[in-house]
Chain A
Amino acid sequence: MSGHAAQPAHHDEGFVKTYLWSTDHKVIAMQYLFTGMLMALIGGFTAYVFRMQLAFPGQSVPLFGRVSAGQYNSLVTMHGTIMIFWVAMPVLLAAFGNFLIPLMLGCDDMVFPKVNRLSYQIFLLSAVVLVASFAVPGGAFGGAWTAYPPLSAKAAYNLTRYGSTLWVVAVALEFVAFLLGGVNFVTTAMNARAPGMRMFDVPIVIWMIVIASILFMASVGPLIAGAVMLVFDQVLGTGFYDPGTGGDPILWQHLFWFFGHPEVYVVLLPAMGIVAEVIAVFSRKKLFGYRTIVHTAVATGVISFFVWAHHQFVAGIDPRMASLFTVTTLIISVPIAEMVFVYIATLYGGSITLATPMLWALSFVAEFLIGGVTGIFLGAAGSDIYLHDTYFVLAHFHYTFFPIAIIGAFTGITFWFPKMFGRMMDERLGKIHFWGTIIAFNVIFIPLFITGAAGEHRRIFDHSGFPDLATPGLQHLRTTATMGLVCLLAFQPVFFFNFVRSMVRGPIAGANPWRANTLEWLAPSPPPHGNFAELPEVYRGPYEYSTEDREEDFWPQHLPDDLSPATSVGGHQ
């Protein structure tokens, strides 16, 4: 642990200062990671409860009891809200952003460590407010995660007077936290790169996190304004979204989706970046089309601001506008498809190792592809009018968000675990968990494509009142999906067991167990405060694998041209 000598002053600080009040980017990353994982458990549990209600309507759900219609609404709303804002965002953007940006750019911390700490504290507060809203009279907000008024604006409709306001407050606090974090990410990546690291020497995952942060900053503003208006409608009785006073409920849909659609790319791009790193390392090949990926990511970001109204095809927008947004929506699949092709081209002719992180990365490409292709049907106004608000939509966006939030996170965690904790995860348990999760995931959502195409509406609490939907065939598919979910959840303890056991007893990893090029693998595992014994300089791009005329099949970024890698690899502990 040679790096420790650099910062002896930080050794004898107490537990609080080291783990709870720290400004160290790695500690903050772990805070975000563990908070996100905890919230994922809550989000997973809510899904379990309402899926059980759908499969066995009216029966008592084990560990919960009988589900009322109001509780069902709260559970569905909280599931969506938690999984997107309190799992995908903190894990993919905040945890990996905080952990990787300073390490991969070769600096000792974020440029504003205290702002970083404040960002997490506000995020934690927002999570507490959200979870606390389960306990207020009327229960947690039950107006769906998109919070369309008038349902969300009037307590007489949503029946969750306090829950709905707490929901808006929690979401607004979360946005503040990510704005503070985003400013830090972008500024650090722009200004604090290691000497010699040019713009196109920055690893793809950092590019993706930075582009995602900029997208977030540029898109969330109108929704913050919209959230203020919604709270005023709820609490003060203004009528911003109330047609009765001259307001307009569609205004919220514009403000929400102007943010909501770029938000998809805010979480997608970091996951894409994580997958790019893993694919390059485990193919032992130079990443195909580095600049293409950067350019397509920027293009995706720009186009994502022009697709939002495809969520509103049935909301009464001008049909001419629907045609425009159909075109932009179909266009945005081009850069994303390009990225997928580039990843496949990286695999071609590579020397592939199917370690657990690589399995996750490959499954990301495969599963996300299904999500992307089914999205075409929903982006085209004609077919969307039929499929709108059915389980087809639900299955589609779970085929995008599950790869993003869950597969992307597992890819990153299994890949950087040795760097985070200094020990290797167990491969056998990792593979059991991988197959259990991936197969179960498909068992959940393939049946839901079918029920959706058969006309099953998304927001029905109990299908027994709908003779067309309560047929044994459809009910059988519903039960299959629920069984898939139960299997998926049942496999997650394998991961947690592997995580905790490897943290304590896994084989020691060394600085660079995957023989990768980027700068974080130069730092000791786990990196001490200050990260590097001596801050590195950069001599080349991040993906120089299997270069001809070199003995080693990798060529770390920090090595000057005339040194062999043997001098720097393996010596660290």
Chain B
Amino acid sequence: MTSRPIATTRSVMEVPTGRLAMWWVLASEIVIFGGLLGSYVMMRLRHGAWADQAANTNTWTGAFNTLVLLTSSLSAVLAHQAAERADGPKAARLLRFTILGGGVFLMVKAFEWTREIQEGFTITSGLFWSFYYTAAGLHAAHVIAGMVIMFIVSLTAARNEELHRVENVGLYWHFVDVVWIFLFPLLYIAK
């Protein structure tokens, strides 16, 4: 690790700088998804007919993916706990388990989308489907980004370095989780 500016080590607010920054990142992410989902909800309320399109989504696949993501968040919490105990290698193993959860989530999604596209429901099949693919796609991009960052963090954590990052990447992963908690009822349950 190269030398860090003294600024990075200061903590006037008594919150570690990395965590503080992560909260600001999440704040700006919330408004991105907020804008998208807000637009979706406003338009959905005006178009009752979208329910016919929404009836074609597979609630059980969505439910299974919810379970997978929540479980992966559990291992992220356990990784944070291990990092607090300065057990870097264990934190790294748990983070990789979380990455695995993200991978399963994406695979399920891939099968789901393949089937839907084969049945003729593409992003241009109607405005519901446009929102469906856009919102879930934006979320999936965040899942992929989270997996990449988590892998990088797990490499340093395995060497017992930069353990505070385990908590920060966990915060990010919980956010990805929470977004899905909104997407699941809005896209799957509301028929």
Residues of A whose CB lies within 8 Å of any CB of B are: 102, 107-113, 179, 182-184, 186-188, 190-193, 197, 217-226, 228-229, 232, 236-240, 245-248, 251, 255, 258, 535
Distance, CA A190 to CA B19, complexed state (A): 12
Q: Are B20 and A192 in contact (CB under 8 A)?
A: no
A51–chain B nearest beta-carbon distance, Å: 36
Q: What are the residues of chain A within 8 A of B29 when measuring CB–CB?
A: 221
Residue of B nearest to A102 (CB): B7
The docked-state distance in angstroms from the alpha carbon of A218 to that of B24 is 10
Please list 29 pairs of residues, one from A and one from B, whose beta carbons are closer than 8 Å in the complex, sorted by A's number.
Answer: A107-B5, A107-B7, A111-B7, A111-B17, A183-B25, A183-B28, A187-B17, A190-B12, A190-B20, A191-B15, A191-B17, A192-B8, A192-B10, A193-B12, A217-B28, A219-B31, A221-B29, A222-B36, A222-B38, A222-B39, A224-B35, A225-B36, A226-B39, A229-B36, A229-B134, A237-B124, A238-B123, A251-B42, A258-B35
Contact status of A221 and B124, CB under 8 A, knowing A188-B7, A190-B13: no
CB contacts (< 8 Å) of B190 on chain A: these are none
A93 to chain B, nearest CB (A): 15
Q: How far is the CA of A399 from the CA of B138 in the complex (A)?
A: 39
Q: Is B118 an interface residue (CB 8 A)?
A: no
Contacts of A247 in B (CB 8 A): 43, 127
Asked if A239 meets B130 with Cβ closer than 8 Å, knowing A221-B32, A224-B32, A225-B32, the reply is: yes
A111 touches B8 (CB 8 A): yes
CB-based nearest B residue for A245: B127
A183 CA to B24 CA, complexed, in Å:
6
Interface members, chain B 16-34 (any A CB < 8 Å): 17, 20-21, 24-25, 27-34
- Going nearest first, the 5 A-B pairs with the smallest beta carbon separation are A222-B35, A221-B31, A109-B5, A225-B36, A221-B32
Known: A187-B17, A236-B123, A240-B130. A217 touches B24 (CB 8 A): yes
Chain B CB within 10 Å, residue with most, of A218, A221, A228: A221
Q: Known pairs A110-B5, A232-B134. 20 more at Cβ < 8 A?
A: A107-B10, A108-B6, A111-B8, A112-B21, A179-B25, A182-B24, A187-B17, A191-B13, A192-B7, A192-B8, A217-B28, A217-B31, A219-B31, A221-B28, A221-B34, A222-B39, A238-B127, A240-B130, A246-B47, A255-B35
Are the C-beta atoms of A222 and B24 separated by less than 8 Å? Answer: no
Q: Are A183 and B31 in contact (CB under 8 A)?
A: no
B185 on interface, CB distance cutoff 8 Å: no
Give the residues in chain B near A193, CB-CB below 8 Å: 10, 12
